[in-house]
Amino acid sequence: MAIAYSDQASRGDGPQTARGQRTRSAVLAAARRTFEARGYVDTRVVDITRQAKVSYGSFYTYFPSKEAVFAEVVQGMIDDFRSTVRAQPVPGSTPGDLIARTNRGYLRAYRQNAAMMAILEHAATFNEDLMTIRREARTSWIKGASRAIKQWQDEGLVSPWIDPYYAASALGSMVDRSAYVWLVLGEPYDMRSPWIS
């Protein structure tokens, strides 16, 4: 899912030394803080290097551009989402129970990453590579939910006339957009509501 850049970092040939790995991790962490503070458009490489306390040249040892480091920050955030959201089936639970647990996990993950999600939503509107990352992240969720719905249909738990893909897409869009308006746009909501929590 990551953007393919022609530098060594994007090919997976990252730093070989422990010190190099620490420096690269420091640049990534600083990039995320800087993007969250300044937004995508207003962040410059020099802002990231100052935050990371590394030289300008050190940045380019690990990343060819601001776009590349942003893509990797976003990829890390998406990976964190997956680990936070994944709901394990509980014996005796219904499809509705699993969907509710997954949705609550998504909202928790979104709340933890709301600043970066807002930046990604904005940047994806004018950067084709970032739009691809955003679309691929959504597609992976829809594929997983589609498989679950199909399995429930095979088990006789969900009506066979429901299209698994479109049902998964609609459910995902509903939760994602709700998270955006609540956690980015600031529309009032109550996380303790039985409909959410």
Same domain, 50 and 101: no
Instruction: Please indicate, yes or no, whether residues 101 and 150 belong to a single structural domain of this protein.
Output: yes
pLDDT of res. 85? 76
Task: Provide the token pair at 100.
Answer: 């509710």
The rounded distance, in Å, linking the Cα atoms of 1 and 58 is: 25
Q: How many domains does the chain have?
A: 2
Within-domain flag for 12: no
Whole-Å CA distances, 117 to 122, 125, 165, 167:
9, 13, 24, 23
Q: Note the pLDDT tens digit of each residue in 64-114.
A: 999 999 999 998 998 888 887 776 667 778 888 888 888 888 888 999 999
Q: Tell me, rounded to whole angstroms, the distance of Cα 59 from its chain centroid.
A: 23
- Tell me the average pLDDT across 50-75: 93
Specify the CATH number for the domain of residue 38. 1.10.10.60
Judge whether 1 lies within some domain: no
CB atoms within 10 A of CB 16: 8
Determine the Cα–Cα distance for residues 59 and 68; give it in Å rounded to an integer: 11
Question: Is there a domain that residue 5 lies in?
Answer: no
Range with lowest mean pLDDT among 35-39, 90-94, 151-155, 170-174: 90-94
Q: What angle do CA 136, 138, 142 make, to 5 degrees?
A: 115
